[in-house]
């Protein structure tokens, strides 16, 4: 697939249930943060038209009339000036010197780090594999508590200063959101239910790999956190999510406890959050972490390549479920490393540990995927993490 035929979904890094918890706070000391969360939730309503001020991408650098050079990095960062119209004022392009705005610098560097992983490791030429300009807008809205991919660009809020810092401060956020673009141009996974949770998990996986690759960290050295540093020191928590230990990223009096399950037995059935896409993504997240740490070394070299091969295979159904995705990673491991290889065994063991090992036994790897939704889910009733009205 060379591009999505479906309308892009606005994919934000902060899940709605967390903002709802914050918006309900009745504490004068956090009044500004609660109001910022309420405004952020209103901005995140899906019916908003983000493309009212659509503009053409700046031309790619190079010799006039020459064919684009594959792998050449092309970035453009704009400043919304605390307004809610995109793209804002263009403030930096390739070849221009850095300025004094830390948000612009962080966005610029994060775009570069993400491009570096996908090109230098996987030979993917930008998110569409055709050299698409990586565009970002900073200072979106006033105290906006989120960052999102809207199908064309990254958009960053500055946070409220009480609960959230500026959203450019975490390279995992940038890698996460740009990976939504890669998914849009490849498998184009439906953003709901299990396929939506896989969509979110892929963004967490490659967001973490962007950080690890930029820092030169091995799987053992990595923190495996998404959004580390986003919370201010007033919050009892280290990040939005943990791939290593889903459900442990935060435990705060205001925000509550991280509700992500780490095993299929804790699967959350809900109609909120597009069917729990930010919640149940903890299950495939944990599976990837287990595969990567079992194989050791740099996670992008082996485990990351298996997941990348799976994402770009052209065979994933848009509505693939967890079991179907697990089988697809098993097939990818067999194709690249061989049935019964150390890599294939690690994939089987990783999925088995999160409750999805059925059908992944030795010698499986070549069977066709079942229909989406065909796998039984050992679940539990939805435990309200603060989404539903009182």
Active site annotation includes 109 = no
Distance CA 50, CA 41 (A): 15
* CA angle centred on 184, ends 111 and 198, rounded to 5°: 95
Omega prior to 197 cis, within 30 of 0: no
Q: Write down the catalytic residue from 139, 180, 278, 344.
A: 278
Residue in this structure with the two tokens 């956020």, named with its chain if needed: 173
Structure tokens at 115: 């491009």
Q: How many CB atoms lie within 10 A of CB 62?
A: 13
Q: Establish how many alpha carbons lie within 13 A of residue 291's alpha carbon, considering only the half-sphere containing its beta carbon.
A: 32
3-state secondary structure string across 64-129: CCCCCCCCCCCEEEEECCCCCCCCCEEEEECCCCCCCCHHHHHHHHHHHHHHHHHHHHCCCCCCCC
Q: Write down the catalytic residue from 177, 200, 211, 228.
A: 177
Active site annotation includes 278 = yes
* CA angle centred on 44, ends 129 and 134, rounded to 5°: 25
Q: Are 140 and 157 in contact (CB under 8 A)?
A: yes
Q: Give the three-class secondary structure for 244.
A: coil
Annotated catalytic residues are: 177, 278
């Amino acid at each position: 697939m060379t591009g999505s035929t479906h309308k892009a979904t606005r994919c934000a890094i902060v899940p709605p249930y967390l903002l709802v918890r914050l918006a309900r706070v009745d504490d004068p000391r956090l009044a500004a943060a609660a109001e910022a969360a309420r405004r952020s939730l209103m901005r995140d309503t899906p019916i908003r038209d983000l493309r009212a001020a659509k503009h053409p991408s700046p031309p790619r650098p190079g010799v006039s009339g020459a064919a684009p050079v594959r792998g050449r990095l092309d970035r453009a960062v704009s400043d919304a000036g605390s307004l809610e119209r995109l793209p804002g004022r263009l403030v930096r392009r390739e070849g221009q010197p850095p300025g004094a705005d830390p948000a612009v610098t962080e966005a610029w560097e994060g775009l570069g780090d993400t491009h570096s992983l996908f090109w230098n490791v996987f030979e993917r030429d930008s998110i569409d594999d055709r050299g698409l300009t990586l565009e970002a807008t900073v200072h979106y809205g006033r105290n906006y508590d989120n960052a999102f991919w809207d199908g064309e660009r990254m958009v960053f809020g500055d946070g409220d200063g009480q609960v959230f810092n500026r959203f450019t401060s975490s390279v995992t956020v940038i890698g996460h959101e740009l990976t939504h673009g890669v998914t849009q141009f490849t498998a184009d996974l439906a953003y709901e239910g299990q396929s939506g949770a896989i969509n979110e998990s892929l963004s967490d996986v490659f967001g973490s790999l962007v950080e690890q690759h930029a820092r030169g960290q091995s799987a053992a050295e990595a923190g495996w956190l998404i959004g580390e540093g986003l919370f201010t020191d007033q919050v009892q928590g280290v990040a939005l999510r943990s791939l290593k230990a889903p459900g442990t990223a935060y435990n705060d009096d205001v925000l509550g406890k991280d509700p992500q399950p780490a095993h299929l037995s804790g699967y959350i059935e809900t109609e909120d959050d597009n069917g729990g896409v930010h919640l149940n993504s903890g299950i495939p997240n944990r599976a990837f972490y287990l595969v990567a740490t079992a194989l050791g070394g740099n996670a992008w070299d082996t485990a990351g390549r298996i997941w990348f091969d799976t994402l770009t295979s052209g065979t994933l159904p848009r509505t693939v479920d967890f079991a179907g995705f697990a089988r697809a990673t098993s097939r990818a491991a067999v194709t690249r490393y061989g049935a019964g290889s150390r890599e294939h065994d690690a994939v089987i063991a990783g999925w088995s540990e999160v409750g999805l090992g059925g059908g992944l036994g030795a010698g499986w790897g070549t069977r066709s995927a079942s229909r989406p939704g065909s796998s039984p889910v050992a679940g539990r009733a939805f435990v309200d993490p603060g989404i539903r009205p009182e």
